[in-house]
Amino acid sequence: MKNTILEYFLKYVKIDTMSMEDQNKVPSTDKQFNLAKVLVKDLEELGLEDIKLTEHCFVTAVLKSNCNSNLHIGFVAHMDTIPGFSGTNVNPQIVNNYDGKVIKLKGIELNPKQFPFLNDLVGKTLITTDGTTVLGADDKAGVADIMAMLNYYVNNPNQPHVNIHVAFTPDEEIGGGIDYMDVKGFGCDFAYTVDGLHYDEIEYENFNASSALVEVSGLDIHPGSAKGQMKNAARIAMEFDSLLPEFERPEYTDGYEGFNHLCEISGEVGSAKLVYILRNHDKNKLLKQQNDFMNTEAFLNNKYGKGTVKVTIKHSYSNMRELIEKDDRCVKRAEVAMRSLGIEPVSNPIRGGTDGAKLTLMGLNTPNIGTGGYNCHGPYEMACLEEMELVVKTLIEIAKEQ
């Protein structure tokens, strides 16, 4: 099985699928079709049914149930890699029987002192970058894991399984790709994104998210004769930020703690602008954070005059937990699958959003499971083949008739 996983994985990571911000189209880059077409071919070779590639670069296919099961389970992974770091000419390096020492790559090194998890991977097979690109394990490890699971069932036709639906999707890294998914057409009772890290992860809590735009209008007057009149928007913008709770910032928070993150500040005397993202797993706590923004607006308008500060809050996405709890077959099934392999499932709150959270809100409960990848989004990215194998075994168990 390891060879099958590795073969798929190495083939997919070598295909450049970087997505790109601000393109106003899905997929954001045409090159994502290059992987999509290879996947269509691989699915055809496996003999899957209803293989489709849409104009928005969604690849879907079905392996029909070979037993009495009427259950339809979906497995989803994204094809694109992050826009922030090169995914061109990925040259994966294989480290067999890892000896626990520093792994030297071009210009960088994977050092167990910096990445202590490496100490747990001694003796394992690691796949790294050559130091100059991402690896694309996020999320081609997920794509390869799903393909290896399909490969297992196609080659073991006596093993009873449910209806297995797969979807390989575009533009996860820039957000928004999944909005073009035909959830009804996918036809599943529930699904999983295979887009986490560790093989023992089952994640079904993510942030509730909104954004806040703070616009400050000042009054620009010659500084020599400004006494009692000038309203310096840049300074008022700084004051706005200083009035927000000091410790509710990303650099001070962890686990279930929410934050307000100042992503952008710009301005001069006449006008200034602050852009924040607000995050919390707890809906009511997020409302409190939003209230802090509105109260700060009111306070500063009282101090500097009506209309000085204008806050606009927009909803971004919601925590999937509430919906998952209403029908938690997906979580329960994954937990049973992992335990049958001797894996104790771990559920950490995701400090971000996932495509699965969006799918859940679109009506398809979709928690997230791990891939066997590490250190996403940069040249330190790597994967552990034995952990990918555990993920594939978990997927096989999930799809098994129970």
Q: Tell me whether residue 138 or residue 200 sits nearer to Zn ion (CB atom).
A: 138
Residue 79 vs 103, nearer CB to Zn ion: 79
Size of the site for Zn ion (CB under 5 A): 3
d(CA 315, CA 33): 31
Please select the residue that binds Zn ion; options are 16, 139, 297, 397, rule is CB under 5 A.
139
Pick the closest to residue 195 from 210, 211, 178 (CA basis).
178
Contacting Zn ion (CB under 5 A), which of 16, 138, 248, 387? 138
In the β-sheet with 373-374, what is the strand arrangement from edge to edge?
Answer: 93-95, 126-128, 382-384, 373-374
Round to whole Å and give the CA distance between 34 and 18. Answer: 11
Minimal distance, residue 392 CB to Zn ion, in Å: 18
User: Of residues 16, 171, 195, 201, which one binds Zn ion by CB under 5 A?
Assistant: 195
- Which is closer to Zn ion, CB of 125 or CB of 371? 371
Chain residues 266-305 in contact with Zn ion, contact rule CB under 5 A: none
- Give the DSSP per-residue string, 106-175: SS-EE-TTT-GGGGGGTTS-EEE--SSS---HHHHHHHHHHHHHHHHHHH-TTS-B-EEEEEEES--TTS
Q: Is the Cβ of residue 195 or residue 297 nearer to Zn ion in the bound state?
A: 195
For the bound state, the minimum distance from the C-beta of residue 168 to Zn ion, rounded and expressed in Å, comes to: 12
Segment interacting with Zn ion, rule: CB under 5 A, options 132-140, 244-252, 329-337, 361-369? 132-140
307-346: contacts with Zn ion (CB under 5 A): none
Report the catalytic residues.
80, 172
Among the listed ranges 11-19, 82-90, 136-144, 290-298, the one in contact with Zn ion (CB under 5 A) is 136-144
How many other CB atoms are there within 10 angstroms of residue 246's CB atom?
A: 8
DSSP structure string for 216-265: EE-B---GGG-TTT-B-HHHHHHHHHHHS-TT-SGGG--TT--EEEEEEE
Q: Read off the tokens for 334.
A: 């994954």
Q: What is the nearest approach in angstroms of Zn ion to the Cβ of residue 347?
A: 18
The reply on whether position 355 binds Zn ion by CB under 5 A is: no
Q: Which CB sits closer to Zn ion, 98 or 192?
A: 192
The interface region with Zn ion, picked from 189-197, 212-220, 224-232, 309-317 by CB under 5 A, is 189-197
Mode of pairing for the β-strands spanning 259-267 and 202-203? unpaired
**If binding is defined by CB under 5 A, does position 200 make contact with Zn ion?**
no
DSSP code, position 81: B
Report the interface residues with Zn ion, using CB under 5 A. 138-139, 195
